[in-house]
Amino acid sequence: MTATADANTLPAHYIELTGLIREASTLGSVGSLLGWDQETYMPPAGGPARGEQAALIARLTHEMHTAPRVGELLSACESDADLMQEGTESAANIRAMRRDYDKATRLPGSLVAELARTGSEAQDIWKHARAKSDFSAFAPALTKMLDLTRRKAECLGIPEGGELYDALLDEYEPDARAAQIEQVFLPLRDRLSVFIADITANGTPPRVDFTRRAIPVGRQHAFGQAVLAALGFDFSAGRLDTSTHPFCSGISAGDTRLTTRYAEDNFADALSSTMHECGHGLYEQGLPKSGPHAGTPLAGSVSLGIHESQSRMWENFVGRSRPFWAWALPLANQHFDGALSDIDLDTMVRAMNTCTPSLIRVESDEPTYNLHVMIRFGLERSLIKGDLSVKDLPGAWNEQYRKLLGVEVPDDRRGCLQDVHWSFGLIGYFPTYSLGNIYAAQLWETINEQITDLDAQMARGEFGALLSWLRENIHRHGRRYSAQELCERATGKPLSADPLMRHLERRVKPAYGL
């Protein structure tokens, strides 16, 4: 990394600018705590007041980010040739601050308010429509949200060489373009579809019955904590709690909070959720949040895709591997009072690598998950383009599920009404889930080339070398590089879905005796 001039020689306009952004970031971190608390410990009747607190913090944070003084200082920094020298941290930081500032100032307040209000109403309408599996009840609200979202994309502006959808995508995966993603997704989609059809037709499904044995929640929690501690999650700078929907909140330097959920009869699912959130948490704990870049973009995560690559790596590439279970199965048995003592390692590993086409994304397994995501990517892109009308959405959805997953969608509740995202305008978000898997697979191949005995280490419960590699190659860079650049610097190769296919072949086929 090219060094920046040290802090003593940084010009006053850069110091003032980063100071203002740091303050906005501190206020934003307060908003994160409000959100965490709401999902974990807030009593039910605290909801309305919490809504007011969150709205006020969001408004004040936005005011700080869009203050005219920030704009003035940005311009001053941009005309400072020393600061903007190619390859310096200051140049990367200023470019990121410019991007954030433009994004924040380009949306008129009235549109932000209308999106929030309409989105909140539409989410409510969606909830009822889904319960009654009545798409027609949701269609008008979705149409309205799509119109507003298109207007939002127009305000943000079409990125260079892109399409309208890219303006939305750019919020979650900066610098990504739908057309480039399509080039990676399309061949993967077709190969996955064939792969899954082959397994479904020719494979012998593994035993999974024992994963539904009753394990008291307290025992599962203790096991999960023991696993996270071994993976390297720093509990002196973080926590693990429970919530309805698992999440990770990187509140501040020294304060990263994970949640998971437990069902007595599904310890494997709980462990996967816990390890998934831990992957996010390890990334947050590895970002350069203290030190010279504290509170500035350089201290932040680069994209949702990279964030997801970290969660997926620990959940799937580590957590469904044979070496991991060689270490974790005896540990689980110990915590579960011998409840798995009749299960051998092969049986355990096979059960963790199933492949069953199904209707619901959030319940799907590792190989089929990506098809759920790609279907949504294609459909939402067409909706924004105007190639697909809202009234034709259910038909298009069902056709894709038939064609790619081989399943018949019996009703819209288990079809195009299943996800909350579109109801509040979250469009451009879905592809980051599969990008995460693709990044993870590509990183994983490089890691295994460079840490040649990683399997042996994992089988001993040692994950330090893996975490150090991620710290060095991913975490510490924060937002310095774009996601694609970062991945290419770490692996030496352009983005490709080949590693993901190789990974799935190696993992899933043996579980089905193929």
- Which residues are at the interface with a second copy (CB under 8 A)? 23, 26-27, 29-30, 33-34, 37, 41-50, 52-53, 56-57, 60, 234-239, 241, 251-255
Residue nearer to a second copy on the CB measure, 23 or 82:
23
* Beta carbon nearer to a second copy, 42 or 84: 42
CB atoms within 10 A of CB 105: 16
The enclosing H or E element of 252 equals strand 248-252
Enumerate the H helices of 157-216 as residue ranges: 164-172, 178-202
What is d(CA 414, CA 363) in angstroms, rounded to the nearest whole number? 12
Least distance in angstroms from the C-beta of 27 to a second copy: 6
In this complex, which beta carbon is closest to a second copy, that of residue 52 or of residue 86? 52
Contacts of 442 (CB under 8 A, 6+ apart): 487, 491, 493, 495, 496, 499, 500
CA distance 73 to 220: 52
Nearer to a second copy, 190 or 235 (CB): 235
Amino acid making up residue 230: A
* H and E: helices and strands count for the chain: 20, 3
| Exposure on the CB side of residue 402, measured as CA atoms within 13 A | 9
Structure tokens at 259: 């949640």
Q: Please, what is the minimum distance in Å from the beta carbon of residue 41 to a second copy?
A: 6
The residue (of 235 and 265) whose beta carbon lies closer to a second copy is 235
Q: Which residues are catalytic?
A: 277
Which residue, 475, 481, 29, 487, is CA-closest to 283?
475
Q: Which amino acid does the sequence have at 246?
A: P
Q: How far is the CB of 289 from a second copy (least distance, A)?
A: 8
- Contact present, 311 and 277 (Cβ < 8 Å): yes
